[in-house]
Structure 1
Amino acid sequence: MATQVVQNQSLNNTYSAFTKFWKNVKAVTGPYWYPTKAGERAFSDVIRVWGMLILLISLIITLVGVNVFNSFIQRYLLDLMIKEKDLPKFFDALLLYGVVLVLATLFVGFTKSVRKKIALDWYQWLNNHILSKYLSNRAYYKINFKSDIDNPDQRLSQEIEPIASNALSFSATLLEKVLEMTVFLIILWSISPQVAMILVAYTIVGNLIAVYLTQELNKISQEELESKADYTYCLTHVRNHAESVAFFQGENQELNIITRRFSNLIKNAKRKIDWEKNKEIFNRGYQAVIQILPFIVFGPLNIKGEIDFGELSQAALSCNLFAMALAELINEFGTSGRFSSYVERLSEFSDALESVTKQPENVNTIKTIEENHLAFENVTLQTPNYEQVIVEDLSLSVQPGEGLLIIGPSGRGKSSLLRAIAGLWNAGTGRLVRPPLEEVLFLPQRPYIILGTLREQLLYPNTNRQISDAELKNFLQQVNLQNLLSRVDGFDTEVPWENILSVGEQQRLAFARLLVTRPSFTILDEATSALDLKNEGSLYQQLQETKTTFISVGHRESLFDYHQWVLELSQDSSWQLVTVQDYRNQNTSITKTTGNTPLKIDSFFKDKFQTKLENSTGEGLSHKEMNALTSYSLSTIRSKASKGEFITTNNGFIYRYNKDPKVLKWVMG
């Protein structure tokens, strides 16, 4: 009874797997061959591709007919040579045989060409279809939060083309070889029904064994595909983070990770080699039996004179061609395992892209209204999974030309508010009023550097805008990048910009892009974090001169000088909106006196500099640490240290240099 249950469960699993596979195949192939949605495919394209498919089928049928005709001509030639010995008829038949062979050769080449053209057209359409899903409704961004979808870039670049090519190759081979096997089996039946029946029974048994071997290879192929994707991803990861790896000197750790993933790839490759060896031995042995069968059966009959040599030759040829057709068919079933893996992964990827772009039902979302100003109206913002409230009941309005600075403890959702403005996050309640996104330019902390020329970097995202080289040079001058052109051959030079520009230079390049674009609204997420105060001040002053409305996220106290309003987020999801002056007045809570000099620091920055304050009363600060807290150069700081002069930091603290040989540090007071 237990055995019966296991068998039934195995059958159910097989049926379920086949049903799922067929569903995936229809999902991938349906929109191309059987479009059901309006605008999915142009009717003329569908007619054209079906016409090419009908041509392919006709060519395959014709090719099989030519091969069959060849077998009869070969039989006739042998009869002329052995029985009739008629030289003129022999040369006529030989000429016809040669012409048919030439036609067969042309048909083979033309058939493969048509098949590959259909596969290429299908690949082009399928790639564009999936790519449009990937880049629409910001699915490329949202898919990163779906943990079960790995390596989307590889799925796009390496796993779409094999679906089209394998599907056409398998379908064409299946049709051609089934037709060949059927026709040559009929020929064998006409010569000897017994041999034909033995061949059919032998074929059934052989196919059952082949199916088992193919299933095992399919599993290994799926694991191999995943291990290759993981290995490729870790190499790409090292390339994208080369500088960080170099700073950390993490080469050995990265090598361990790469080696571990490569070992998994090799392990799967070895398993595949072993199973392919078993399959190859089976295929060769299977063909050998079929090839020797006609000689075992028909050889004695020919010797006895019961059949002529031409019939023996045609029977042997038919068995041989039957065996070759079957071998190719079994081989295609073997590669179909890879095809099923590709189909499953692409279908999974396509479904995930549709899923992440669907608006969830029965959940609260922030309503977005497009108007020519920016305002939050009773907005409660949550994380996309609705597990955490970022800010509660936020209401504010940013007037045209004003600047709003968002501050708060790290991890309290400052950047999340910017994501809400961009429409990336909308979980929550309330109303968000913002201008059309085409009028907003976002400057993140790590600027986005495109793959393109210097001209395209400056004009992005509207790279078709026409601006003269002189104007572009002026913009580079304004952001203190006038020397950049001396490092490349001109504005139309394409180099790996992320590798040759420092983060500070990238941030200034992003500001040049802002000056070129002159958007009505600008969002800056710590966009000057890698710049010194002088460059930061210059860029913000130019930003103010553009009369754009801007919102900044930042920690630097210097940013207060360029904004009119401060939005402070707190740990408990509360907030306060005040003017910069009021914020400074109400938060002056730390006072320390040195002589007659009062020292003040805002409470918001207390945590940030607390470590430095503790160090100054203990171990003190080095020249480089003082350089980071002041506008002085290292040489000036060393000079003041030698002269025993005091230094006031950017945040109002006064330090002196302790020349005690056991200290030699800058200490407070």
Structure 2
Amino acid sequence: MALRFARLTGGFWSGRTAARAWFWSLLLASAIILSVFANVTVNRWNGWFFDALEKRDSESALIAMAVFPVLVLIVAGLGVVILVSRETFQVHWRQWVTARLADSWVGQRRFFRLSLSGYEPANPEYRIADDVRWATEPVVDFAIGLLSAVITIITFIEILWKIGGSLTVEAGGTTVVIPAYLVLAAIVYAVLVSGLITIVGRKLPGLIAARNEGEARLRFSLMRIRDHGETIALSRTEAGERRAVARTYDSLVGRWLAMIRQRGRLTWITNGSGALVPVVPLLLAAPKYLSGDMSLGGVVQVAAAFVMVQNAFNWVLDNFMRIAEWLAAARRVNELADALERVDHEPPGEHLAIAPSADGLLHLEEVTLIDRDGRTLVADISCALTPGTTLHISGELGLGKAALIQAVAGLWPWGRGEIRLPEGAFVTAVPHKLHLSEGSLRAVLETGRTLPEEQLQTVLRRYGLSSLAPMLDETRDWDRELATGDRQRLALARAELEQPDIVLLDEATSAFDTDAALELLDHLRAARPEAIIIAFGQGAGFAEAATHRLLLKRAGGVVRMAARPAAADPAASPLAAPAHAGPAE
């Protein structure tokens, strides 16, 4: 898991972000190394000062007291450098990883394709927003801790070895010399405590991952109530929603309690060790001090060095909870990255072929669409449409309607047959209810291209949205402020500005009567006379006005292409482009 996460996030140190990444990395590492040596200097100052007190050497004590503020200033300054460089590095690294995952999720419409694939991990948006943070920030702290621990062990063990020396023990007439006994004691103590904490806490990462998953489910349940608030309020189904939230929270409470019990077991070890660490070196140094082999300053130095070495050795102990949380977050980030890579591969089983057409027509050739479980949604759809054609599709579509729209748009992977699009054709879909993210109308209409304000206002007025023309740059929650009819007008205006070659209308004018709907679609046809327009369930009035019609009926449990009624008279249709209309196949 750690290697997979390293491969996913290691690109921060290469490419355009390499200079920034290496600058902050090297600055942080240098500050940590200097900080450790500053701590060693403070340790030696302790020996100097307390030896001066023991000898009642006032001159040395005064000099030591004068030097101490300088040491404090250096240590504090290095702490500031470490803090700033660490947090700046964390912000930039998280920014890079978040941008990579978000771009991959949103790019090529993977967020939608992933939801169809069947292997979408739960709450991908939470993984990008929160899990990336919990998976990147601790790594920096871990690196700091490990580097500091290694240098601390090397430098302070030298102090224990040099000042502590060996211990001579006499028992039963036998003299036993234990060399570097304080070093051995520090190592044995650290191994015992770290081993205990690893054994007792081995289940903690899984419990933390389960808790995080429960938190995400609770947020999703609450967001669902907000997103469907009007429907829930009108239908008075809030009691069911309350029960659903209660069940979700009960499950979350159970996961929290399991984690708390595990942390309680760990606390026995962490608190016990915390109480023993300052006392153990004093007990070990006491015999040599009482025998006169060690000065008071030496005892203070040894005690401080033992604690420093112990803290370094017990790095796993001190960071076990954070390591467990990091493992849980890294696992969730890896799962999302793996799913995003997997969605670009060929879907399992039968899949629909998408290819360019040589004659400039849109061809649907024996198209059969199935879901990922192999159930047929629509079958045997065949037609050919020339530029300027308007096709109306009606009948028993059900779920097949959404699948057929997604297939023409290049999103539905499962099925048989072939869809051939005109070379370089741009396909846009106009939904029944346009989703508007919070922001400006300009951002909604420009769709990746910067357009003149006069053009945007003209299009809004053309589709009956003159009142919105002066508010192009106002940031509001337009999804809540605009009624369904206005959203549909805005969606048609947006479709015109996209300059599509193929337009898919998914009940895009359902909020209007026939005459008003035809008038709006006339505007779209006038702006894009060469576009192929395919309308799903637009109503009888639109069916009569279309140049071609396709009827789907259920036969033998499967929706199939039925016998086609006679085509409408193109000359009588306000949506027709007679010079380009062609017969359905």
Out of 124, 145, 152, the position equivalent to 2:95 is 124
Alignment length, in residue pairs? 548
- For residues 322 and 499 of structure 1, what CA distance do their matches in structure 2 show? 60
What is residue 144 of structure 1 aligned with on the other side? 115
Following superposition, the deviation at residue 351 of structure 1 comes to 0.8
Check conservation: 2:356, 2:423, Cα contact below 8 A. no
Following superposition, the deviation at residue 394 of structure 1 comes to 3.9
Following superposition, the deviation at residue 82 of structure 1 comes to 1.8
What is residue 170 of structure 2 aligned with on the other side? none
What is residue 132 of structure 2 aligned with on the other side? 160
- For residues 423 and 414 of structure 1, what CA distance do their matches in structure 2 show? 14
- Identity, % of aligned positions: 22
Out of 60, 64, 71, the position equivalent to 2:32 is 60
- For residues 509 and 47 of structure 1, what CA distance do their matches in structure 2 show? 44
- For residues 413 and 68 of structure 1, what CA distance do their matches in structure 2 show? 73
Check conservation: 1:383, 1:425, Cα contact below 8 A. no
- For residues 435 and 234 of structure 2, what CA distance do their matches in structure 1 show? 22
Structure 1 pair 23–383 and aligned structure 2 pair: CA distance change class (3 A): farther
- For residues 247 and 147 of structure 1, what CA distance do their matches in structure 2 show? 34
Following superposition, the deviation at residue 71 of structure 1 comes to 0.9
What is residue 532 of structure 1 aligned with on the other side? 513
Query: Within 5 Å, which residues of 2 pair with 1:568-647?
Result: 568-572=551-555, 573-581=560-568
5+ residue gaps, structure 1? 1-20, 34-40, 584-669
Quick check: 406-415 or 215-224, which moved more? 406-415
Q: Whose radius of gyration is greater, 1 or 2?
A: 1
Name the aligned partner's letter for residue 163 of structure 1. Answer: A
Q: Which structure is higher in RCO with an 8 Å CA cutoff and minimum separation 6?
A: 2
Report whether the alignment pairs 1:73 with 2:73: no
Check conservation: 1:380, 1:389, Cα contact below 8 A. no
Name the aligned partner's letter for residue 479 of structure 1. Answer: Y
What is residue 24 of structure 1 aligned with on the other side? 4
Give the TM-score taking structure 2 as reference length: 0.85
Q: Deviation digits for residues 200-230 of structure 1, max 9, x if unmatched?
A: 2121111111112432332221111111111
Structure 1 pair 436–126 and aligned structure 2 pair: CA distance change class (3 A): farther
What is residue 503 of structure 1 aligned with on the other side? 484
Check conservation: 1:221, 1:272, Cα contact below 8 A. yes
Structure 1 pair 299–161 and aligned structure 2 pair: CA distance change class (3 A): same
- For residues 402 and 291 of structure 2, what CA distance do their matches in structure 1 show? 93
Report whether the alignment pairs 1:195 with 2:182: yes
What is residue 548 of structure 2 aligned with on the other side? 565
Out of 105, 110, 113, the position equivalent to 1:134 is 105
What is residue 452 of structure 1 aligned with on the other side? 439
- For residues 51 and 167 of structure 1, what CA distance do their matches in structure 2 show? 17
Out of 72, 75, 78, the position equivalent to 1:101 is 72
Report whether the alignment pairs 1:237 with 2:224: yes
Name the aligned partner's letter for residue 463 of structure 2. Answer: V
Report whether the alignment pairs 1:207 with 2:190: no
Following superposition, the deviation at residue 354 of structure 1 comes to 0.7
Structure 1 pair 137–463 and aligned structure 2 pair: CA distance change class (3 A): closer
Find the residue that maps to 1:159 and give its secondary structure.
Answer: helix
Out of 458, 466, 471, the position equivalent to 2:452 is 466
Structure 1 pair 396–362 and aligned structure 2 pair: CA distance change class (3 A): same
Q: Deviation digits for residues 465-487 of structure 1, max 9, x if unmatched?
A: 1132xx655544443444557xx
Quick check: 283-292 or 226-235, which moved more? 283-292
What is residue 290 of structure 1 aligned with on the other side? 277
What is residue 463 of structure 2 aligned with on the other side? 479
What is residue 574 of structure 2 aligned with on the other side? none
Find the residue that maps to 1:465 and give its secondary structure.
Answer: coil
Query: Within 5 Å, which residues of 2 pair with 1:269-280?
Result: 269-280=256-267
Check conservation: 1:377, 1:432, Cα contact below 8 A. yes
Give the TM-score taking structure 1 as reference length: 0.75
Structure 1 pair 23–381 and aligned structure 2 pair: CA distance change class (3 A): farther
Name the aligned partner's letter for residue 24 of structure 1. Answer: R
Find the residue that maps to 2:277 and give its secondary structure.
Answer: helix
Following superposition, the deviation at residue 23 of structure 1 comes to 3.9
- For residues 464 and 408 of structure 1, what CA distance do their matches in structure 2 show? 40
- For residues 358 and 319 of structure 2, what CA distance do their matches in structure 1 show? 59
Check conservation: 1:173, 1:329, Cα contact below 8 A. no
Check conservation: 1:74, 1:97, Cα contact below 8 A. no
Check conservation: 2:194, 2:316, Cα contact below 8 A. no
Report whether the alignment pairs 1:181 with 2:153: yes
Structure 1 pair 561–297 and aligned structure 2 pair: CA distance change class (3 A): same
What is residue 332 of structure 2 aligned with on the other side? 345
Structure 1 pair 425–166 and aligned structure 2 pair: CA distance change class (3 A): same
Check conservation: 1:383, 1:427, Cα contact below 8 A. yes
Name the aligned partner's letter for residue 133 of structure 1. Answer: S
Check conservation: 1:560, 1:580, Cα contact below 8 A. no
Query: Within 5 Å, which residues of 2 pair with 1:394-405?
Result: 394-405=381-392
What is residue 552 of structure 1 aligned with on the other side? 535
Following superposition, the deviation at residue 361 of structure 1 comes to 7.3
- For residues 377 and 479 of structure 1, what CA distance do their matches in structure 2 show? 31
